[in-house]
Amino acid sequence: MSVFDSLFAEAKTARETAYVPYSRFKVGAAILTNNDSVVSGCNVENAAYPEGTCAEAGAIAAMIRAGSSRIKEVVVIADAALCTPCGGCRQKLKEFADNDVKVHVANLEGLRRTFTVGELLPAGFELEEQN
């Protein structure tokens, strides 16, 4: 099984556990960490809409909790033509991934498109100068 296939399966499983009583739009994300473990997250809505959590943010929180600090590869899945990470999640991914890290965007049937973190956020916020 390829890395993509493993991440796709995990993201798809995570998507099914999403808490989305308002939008009914489920999203799952899976991350391959620098420790070669796979963590995942799902979107969790709240009645105060902006207070919800994206799947990518949930997966990053799980990664940190598991003791990893860097992202090697990502899959985001939703039942949509192309569900790329939102702007906030693009910045979150940038915090923990190099610009060349692959972010695969999938629908329920499979891969739709692959981007790099740098393509998704070419001029993201940086607190300190990067070499």
Show the domains of the chain with their CATH numbers.
Answer: 3-120 (3.40.140.10)
- d(CA 54, CA 44) in angstroms, rounded, equals 7
pLDDT interval class at 86 (50, 70, 90):
very high
- d(CA 40, CA 69) in angstroms, rounded, equals 14
Q: Which residue among 56, 109, 119, 129 is the active-site one?
A: 56
Tell me, what's the pLDDT at 131? 59
Tell me, what's the pLDDT at 1? 86
Query: Residue 24 — left, alpha, or beta (φ > 0 → left; ψ -120 to 50 → alpha)?
Result: left
State pLDDT tens for residues 16-75.
999 999 999 999 999 999 999 999 999 999 999 889 999 999 999 999 999 999 999 999
Q: Is 56 a catalytic residue?
A: yes
- d(CA 85, CA 65) in angstroms, rounded, equals 21
Tell me, what's the pLDDT at 128? 82
pTM, 2 dp: 0.94
- d(CA 82, CA 85) in angstroms, rounded, equals 10
